[in-house]
Structure 1
Amino acid sequence: MTKPLNFLIAADFPPANYAGWHLLNTLVQRRSGLRLRLLMPGDLKEQRQMLETENIDIVYANPFDAAQLVRENGYIAFAKPASSSDEVVIAAKADATYNVVEDLPPGCQIALTSNGDVKLISLRLLEPADLSEDNIELVSVESYQGVARLLIKGEAQAGLFLAHAYHSMSKLAKSQLKIRVESMLHDISHVFLANPIYAQELAQLRSVLLDIGSQSSDSDVLDALGMPSGFVAMEQEDAEFMIDLMETLVN
């Protein structure tokens, strides 16, 4: 194959894992013989532009985007991180007077990114407090670091985080914040998807990806990714089940 495959990484990965994706891309290319062009958008807006304007062959997608890519664009799910689901954290400033989400008042300001699945799950977690989009003020920022800054400065009463991103923040940042609730869904995760026209390359890619972790040197790459357990296969029916679950949360 002369043309490299465009490999897009969802923009919501923690900055600490940036080098890990480059290490993974290099390792996969070396072991598979495939040529991969790594695309790492700086934010979700740039990600959407890439999906609309680039010919994306492989995607590491969040569950919200995966639903559209599978159902509307025919992408095939083939792997996901092992022992890693997409949980959500709702946090506040460490010294805030409210200790649980039920203490949050109507009209409160809640900071979030444009990550659709985090918002979707978080709104379900806010239901015990009788809070919804109708009686809260959502404050959009570009990154989870931006969400943390608003909380620390007292410019928002709560913030919505992808749990992996929250737990990857610096000790200093987390010392100024406190988790009010963390989801335990287990069945929702980021997934690797591929354009169906690359069936032959997909089998090779899946084999190499699932084998990462079998060599002692692989642990450095997986640790840099924040995925120490490596990857497991994901069948299309598993992806469909996850998408159905996402749609249930919407409704």
Structure 2
Amino acid sequence: MPYQFTVSPDFGPEQLAGWHIFNTWLQRQLNTDIHFETFDNFENQRQAIREDKVDIIYANPYDASFLVREKNFVAVATPRKPDETTIVVQADSPIQTVEALTPGCTIAQTDDPDISMMGMIMLEPANLDAGNTEISVQDSYIQVAKTLIQGNADVGFFMTEAFDALSNLVKSQLRPLVSSDIQIVSHVLLIGPEMASKKDELTSKLAAMDTDSQGQKLLQSLKFEKWVPVDEEEMEFMIDLIEALAA
């Protein structure tokens, strides 16, 4: 039975082909069968994880805590692309600062857990929280942008990378208020207990990916510069930080 590989649902659709190619690369490098499957949302993916149907995952920082602490996954490598959050309003909104937002406002967001968490933390200067705001959950960041542009939400939470990737036409109708700058929280590639014996081999292969032209092209398709190995201490530090932010 092949190993099961998936990626966090928050990646852009333009990267899907790259992940399929990456899966083929994984199979060749590890000389084993690996099936790549995507999920439409985080809850469906988490259900698969709970049912032990995932062996390798490119996970967001929030879910990495559950995967490591509860499901005994281990970290292999990270692209060292910080996960940052940008709070956005419609271009002609009278709101100029976070502090100008008021209770009862509507927030458009995806179900991306770490971006939602960071967005709510960034609203604290306006004394806003889940109890005095309305949340409008959208399937994608494109839908978050559409909701704002149509005037159906007052503010939107975006992964900064996703906001930057929007077309110029869409971005011209939006205006960022503020972005986070944590720098040390990022997605990470994790493997489950069934693949634990392959950790050292996979770490070595990933770290060397940027040393040949084929690997460089694959990295570019994923919008990565390189993979950087992650040790247990680094992973525990990031998990502790996420849990502290969520507290």
Q: TM-score range by the shorter chain?
A: over 0.9
5+ unaligned residues in a row in structure 2: which ranges? none
- 2:140 and 2:78 map into 1 onto residues whose CA distance is 23
Counterpart in the other structure of 2:4: 6
Matched, 1:247 2:243: yes
Matched, 1:27 2:25: yes
Structure 2 length-normalised TM: 0.94
**Given that residues 88 and 162 in structure 1 are in contact (C-alpha distance below 8 angstroms), is that contact kept between their aligned partners in structure 2?**
yes
1:65-144 aligned at under 5 Å gives the runs: 65-82=63-80, 84-144=81-141
Q: Which amino acid aligns with 1:222?
A: L
Q: Which amino acid aligns with 2:16?
A: Y
5+ unaligned residues in a row in structure 1: which ranges? none
Q: Which amino acid aligns with 2:56?
A: I
- 2:32 and 2:204 map into 1 onto residues whose CA distance is 12
- 1:170 and 1:28 map into 2 onto residues whose CA distance is 32
- 2:122 and 2:171 map into 1 onto residues whose CA distance is 21
Counterpart in the other structure of 1:46: 44
Structure 1 length-normalised TM: 0.93
- 1:203 and 1:105 map into 2 onto residues whose CA distance is 51
- 2:26 and 2:194 map into 1 onto residues whose CA distance is 20
Q: Which amino acid aligns with 1:47?
A: Q
Q: State the Cα distance separating 1:64 from its structure 2 match.
A: 1.1
Aligned-pair identity (%): 38
Q: State the Cα distance separating 1:196 from its structure 2 match.
A: 2.8
- 1:196 and 1:187 map into 2 onto residues whose CA distance is 26
**Given that residues 76 and 202 in structure 2 are in contact (C-alpha distance below 8 angstroms), is that contact kept between their aligned partners in structure 1?**
no
**Given that residues 43 and 143 in structure 1 are in contact (C-alpha distance below 8 angstroms), is that contact kept between their aligned partners in structure 2?**
no
CA deviation string 1:192-248 (max 9, x = no partner): 111134232222222111211111233322222121x11101111111111111111
- 2:29 and 2:60 map into 1 onto residues whose CA distance is 26
**Given that residues 28 and 208 in structure 1 are in contact (C-alpha distance below 8 angstroms), is that contact kept between their aligned partners in structure 2?**
no
1:95 match: secondary structure: coil
Q: State the Cα distance separating 1:54 from its structure 2 match.
A: 4.7
Q: Which amino acid aligns with 1:179?
A: P
Matched, 1:62 2:57: no
Query: For this pair of structures, how many residues does the alignment match?
Result: 247
Counterpart in the other structure of 1:150: 147
Alpha carbons of structure 1 residues 113 and 60: separation in structure 2 relative to 1, 3 Å: same
